[in-house]
C-alpha cells in the first residue's frame, strides 16, 4: 500500500517553483538513449539569455529551485558563474544534473562548490563498467565517475548527491541491484527515469533498449520496494502510473506534464493543439506506442460529447491539485471515500462503474475554451488524466471504462478500483 507520509512529504517538494535553465547545447558523452541530442549543436546560449531566464523565472513568494541542466551544463566555462548568479538572485537551491566528466577535476569541484552548488544529480545506468560505458558510449566513464562520487562524498559531505538511472531493456532486470550498489556508498536519493523515444538513435536502438513494462513487473516492484527503506528518497519519471500498484506514492505528480510540453517543446506542441491536432509533432506515429505521453497526445482527441452543458442534476467529482487537498475535500481513507460516494443522491460524473452505477464523464469537448496549449494541458491535467489498474483487464467494463482521475489513485491507491466479473 502506498506510503501516505512519503506522498505528503513529496508534495511539499513538488510545490516548489522548479525551473530548468539550459546553459549548454552540447555534451561530452553520447548516451544511446539521449533525449536531448536533437537540440545539440555545440553552442552555449548567450550569457544575457541565461541570466534573464534565471531572473524571470524566479517567484519571490515561493520556494525556488533552479536546475542548471540540459546538454552537459558543466562544460560551459561560465558554469560556476551561473551558479553564483542564481544564489545572488536568491534561489533556495541550486542543482545540476551531470555525467560526472567535469567533476573528475579537483579544482573544478572546488570552484563549483565554492560558488554554492548544493545538489548534484549524477547519471549512472549500471553498477559496473561494461554496460554503463556501453550505454553512455564513453570508455572509462564508470570508473572515473565512481572515483569522483566517492571523492565528493568524502570531501564535500554537505553536498546532496542523488543518482539518476535511465531504465531500459538492458538494465531493467538489474535495477534493484544497481540501486543497492549505490546504497552501499550512502546514496539514498534516486531518480528512476523510464526511457523515452527521442534522440538520434531511436530507430537504431529501438529493439535493444525499449521494453514492455509488464514483462519486468517483478523487477520493477523489487526496486519500488526499496523506496520503503528509511532515509530513502525515490522519485520516478515518465513511467506509466499502472506500474506503481501498491507503491502509489511513487507516481509522478500529474502536473509534471506541463514541463514536458511547455518549456523547450512549446513550439512543437503549441501548433499541434492549436490546429486541433492536425499539425503533428515530428515524433507522432512510430514513437507514440512507446511514449509515456500517448494519452495526452492521442486519447482525448476524438472523444465526442457525452454531456451537454447543463450539469445541474449531476455531481461532478473533480480532481484536487494535491493528495492533501483530496484528503481535505473528500476523506482521509479509501473506505470513507467510497461511503461518501455511495451516499450522494445524484448521478456522479467522472467515477467508474465499479464505484458508482452511472457512467458519465467529462471530455475535452465538454470543457474546452480556447484550444491553446495552456488550456488543453490544464484541462487534461485537471479532468482527463485518468487511469485504471492493470487488474481492470479482468473487468467486464474494461473496454468502455474511462477510469478515474490519477490523484484519486495517488491518494487512495489502485485498490479503489475493483474489477466487475
Ligand atoms: S505520444 Fe506525443 S510526445 Fe510521444 S511520441 Fe507521440 S506525439 Fe510525440
Ligand atoms: S475497468 Fe476498472 S475502473 Fe473501470 S469499472 Fe472496471 S474495475 Fe472499475
User: Where residue 36 sits, what CATH number does that domain have?
Assistant: 3.20.20.70
Q: Do 228 and 135 share a structural domain?
A: yes
Ligand 2 atom 8 nearest Cα? 354
Q: Do 187 and 65 share a structural domain?
A: yes
Give the pLDDT band of residue 305 (cuts 50, 70, 90). Answer: very low
47 lies in some domain:
yes
395 lies in some domain:
yes
pLDDT digit string, tens, across residues 340-395: 999 998 889 899 999 988 788 887 777 766 788 998 898 889 888 999 999 999 99
What residues contact residue 291 under an 8 Å CB cut-off, 6+ apart? 196, 197, 283, 297
Q: Do 315 and 216 share a structural domain?
A: no
Residue 312 has pLDDT above 90, yes or no: no
207 lies in some domain:
yes
| DSSP class per residue in 332-354 | SSHHHHHHHHHT--S-EES--TT
> Residue 268: nearest ligand to its CA?
1
Q: Do 348 and 234 share a structural domain?
A: no
Taking all residues of the chain, what is their mean pLDDT, rounded to a whole number?
88
377 lies in some domain:
no
Q: What is the mean pLDDT of residues 197-203?
A: 76
Give the pLDDT band of residue 27 (cuts 50, 70, 90). Answer: confident
Quote the longest CA-to-CA distance of the chain.
Answer: 69
What residues contact residue 380 under an 8 Å CB cut-off, 6+ apart? 257, 296, 300, 364
pLDDT digit string, tens, across residues 226-256: 999 988 999 999 999 999 999 999 999 999 8
Give the residue from 154, 172, 287 showing the smallest Cα distance to 222: 172
Pairing of β 404-405 and β 386-387: antiparallel
Residue 86 has pLDDT above 60, yes or no: yes
CA distance 5 to 391: 26
pTM (whole model) above 0.85:
yes
CA distance 356 to 398: 15
288 lies in some domain:
no
- Contact status, residue 346 vs residue 313, Cβ threshold 8 Å: yes
CA distance 80 to 305: 54
266 lies in some domain:
no
Q: Do 88 and 154 share a structural domain?
A: yes
- Say how many domains are in the chain: 2
Closest atom, ligand 1, to C-alpha of 293: 1
> Residue 202: nearest ligand to its CA?
1
Of 252, 272, 289, the residue that ends a domain is 252
Pocket, ligand 2, Cβ cutoff 6 A: 352-354, 388, 392, 395, 397-398, 401, 403, 417-420
> Residue 401: nearest ligand to its CA?
2
Residue 303 has pLDDT above 60, yes or no: no
- Contact status, residue 124 vs residue 178, Cβ threshold 8 Å: yes
Rounded distance from Cα 294 to ligand 2 centre (Å): 20
Rounded distance from Cα 382 to ligand 2 centre (Å): 20
Q: Do 174 and 323 share a structural domain?
A: no
Rounded distance from Cα 188 to ligand 1 centre (Å): 32
- What pLDDT is stored for residue 301 in this prediction? 60
pLDDT digit string, tens, across residues 98-136: 887 888 888 988 999 999 999 999 889 998 888 999 998
282 lies in some domain:
no
Q: Do 152 and 8 share a structural domain?
A: yes
78 lies in some domain:
yes
pLDDT digit string, tens, across residues 322-340: 888 999 999 889 999 999 9
CA distance 412 to 351: 14
Which carries the bigger pLDDT value, residue 128 or residue 305? 128
**The most confident of 126-130, 164-168, 317-321, by mean pLDDT:** 164-168
Q: Do 222 and 108 share a structural domain?
A: yes
**Helix, strand, coil share (%) of the chain residues, nearest 5:** 45, 15, 45
Which of 281, 282, 295, 380 gets mutated to test ligand 1 (max ligand atoms within 8 A of its CB)?
281
Closest atom, ligand 1, to C-alpha of 294: 1
CA distance 286 to 106: 45
Range of the domain at 93: 4-252
- What pLDDT is stored for residue 419 in this prediction? 95
Q: Do 313 and 247 share a structural domain?
A: no
Amino acid at each position: 500500500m502506498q506510503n501516505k507520509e512519503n506522498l505528503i512529504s513529496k508534495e511539499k517538494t513538488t510545490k516548489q517553483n522548479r525551473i530548468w535553465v539550459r546553459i549548454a547545447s552540447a555534451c561530452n558523452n553520447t548516451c544511446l538513449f539521449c533525449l536531448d541530442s536533437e537540440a545539440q549543436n555545440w553552442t552555449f546560449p548567450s550569457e544575457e539569455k541565461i541570466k534573464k531566464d534565471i531572473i524571470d523565472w524566479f517567484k519571490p513568494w515561493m520556494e525556488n529551485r533552479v536546475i542548471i541542466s540540459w546538454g552537459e551544463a558543466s562544460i560551459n566555462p561560465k558554469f560556476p558563474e551561473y551558479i553564483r548568479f542564481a544564489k545572488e538572485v536568491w534561489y533556495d537551491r541550486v542543482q545540476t544534473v551531470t555525467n560526472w566528466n567535469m567533476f573528475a577535476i579537483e579544482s573544478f569541484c572546488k570552484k563549483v562548490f565554492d560558488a554554492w552548488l548544493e545538489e548534484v544529480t549524477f547519471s549512472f545506468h549500471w553498477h559496473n563498467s561494461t554496460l554503463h560505458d556501453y550505454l553512455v558510449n564513453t570508455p572509462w566513464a564508470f570508473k572515473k565517475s565512481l572515483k569522483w562520487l566517492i571523492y565528493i562524498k568524502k570531501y564535500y559531505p554537505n553536498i546532496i548527491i542523488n543518482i539518476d538511472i535511465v531504465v531500459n531493456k538492458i538494465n531493467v532486470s538489474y535495477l534493484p541491484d544497481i540501486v543497492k550498489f549505490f546504497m552501499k556508498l550512502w546514496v539514498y536519493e534516486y531518480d528512476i527515469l523510464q526511457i523515452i523515444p527521442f534522440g538520434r538513435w531511436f530507430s537504431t536502438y529501438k529493439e535493444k533498449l525499449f521494453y514492455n513494462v509488464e514483462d519486468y513487473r517483478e523487477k520493477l516492484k523489487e526496486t519500488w520496494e526499496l523506496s520503503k527503506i528509511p532515509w530513502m528518497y525515490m522519485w520516478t519519471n515518465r513511467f506509466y502510473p499502472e506500474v506503481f500498484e501498491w507503491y502509489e506514492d511513487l507516481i509522478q505528480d500529474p502536473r509534471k506534464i506541463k514541463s514536458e510540453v511547455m518549456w523547450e517543446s512549446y513550439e512543437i506542441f503549441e501548433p499541434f493543439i492549436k490546429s486541433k491536432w492536425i499539425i503533428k509533432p515530428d515524433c507522432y506515429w512510430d514513437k507514440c506506442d512507446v511514449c509515456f505521453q500517448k494519452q495526452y497526445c492521442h486519447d482525448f482527441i476524438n472523444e465526442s460529447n457525452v454531456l451537454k452543458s447543463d450539469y445541474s442534476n449531476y455531481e461532478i467529482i473533480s480532481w484536487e491539485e494535491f493528495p492533501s487537498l483530496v484528503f481535505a475535500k473528500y476523506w482521509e481513507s479509501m473506505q470513507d471515500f467510497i461511503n461518501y460516494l455511495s451516499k450522494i443522491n445524484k448521478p456522479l460524473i467522472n467515477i467508474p462503474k465499479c464505484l458508482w452505477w452511472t457512467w458519465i464523464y467529462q471530455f475535452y469537448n465538454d470543457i474546452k475554451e480556447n484550444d491553446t496549449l495552456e488550456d488543453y494541458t490544464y484541462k487534461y491535467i485537471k479532468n482527463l488524466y485518468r487511469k485504471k489498474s492493470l487488474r481492470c483487464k479482468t473487468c467486464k467494463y474494461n473496454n468502455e471504462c474511462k477510469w478515474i482521475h490519477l490523484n484519486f489513485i495517488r491518494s487512495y491507491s489502485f485498490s479503489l478500483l475493483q474489477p466487475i466479473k
